[in-house]
Amino acid sequence: MGEKELKQIREELYNKLQKEYEIFIEYLKEQKPQIILERAYEKVFKEETKDMFYPGYDKFNEENICALNKIENPLDKLYDGWMDCDVNLNELYEYNIQDTLDKIVLDQKEELMNQIQKKKNNMER
């Protein structure tokens, strides 16, 4: 398959994902707030996943794109696969939280050092 054909298939898949996502959003808009809240994670997952198949993003190969394009509701299939995944997200969350906390502590220490230095400079005047 040539680049032009692959680009066209990527665009077709992205448009298909976009349409499925829009239908899901319209469905959510008709639901009670409780249902919307319960499906918020699914909404975010589907939005992020759809964006991963933007035609200019070539992370996934031709075989993957073609196979996914043959499925009636690819976002649902990908979401179901994600929900069946055994990856421990808590480890990723913990790592990210610790990294952010380390940055916060460092920023606060730097700010304290800056304040101390300003006081020293004012006292020397």
This prediction's pTM = 0.75
For 34-62, how does the pLDDT look when each residue is reduced to its tens digit (9 = 90+)?
999 999 999 999 999 999 999 988 889 99
pLDDT tier, 106 (very low <50, low <70, confident <90, very high otherwise): very high
Cβ pair 55, 7 in contact under 8 A: yes
Q: Where are the domains of the chain?
A: 1-86, 88-125
Four-point Cα dihedral 21, 27, 30, 35, nearest 10: -100
Q: Are 53 and 66 in contact (CB under 8 A)?
A: no
Query: At a CB cut-off of 8 Å and minimum separation 6, what does 39 contact?
Result: 28, 31
Residue 62: strand, helix, or coil: helix
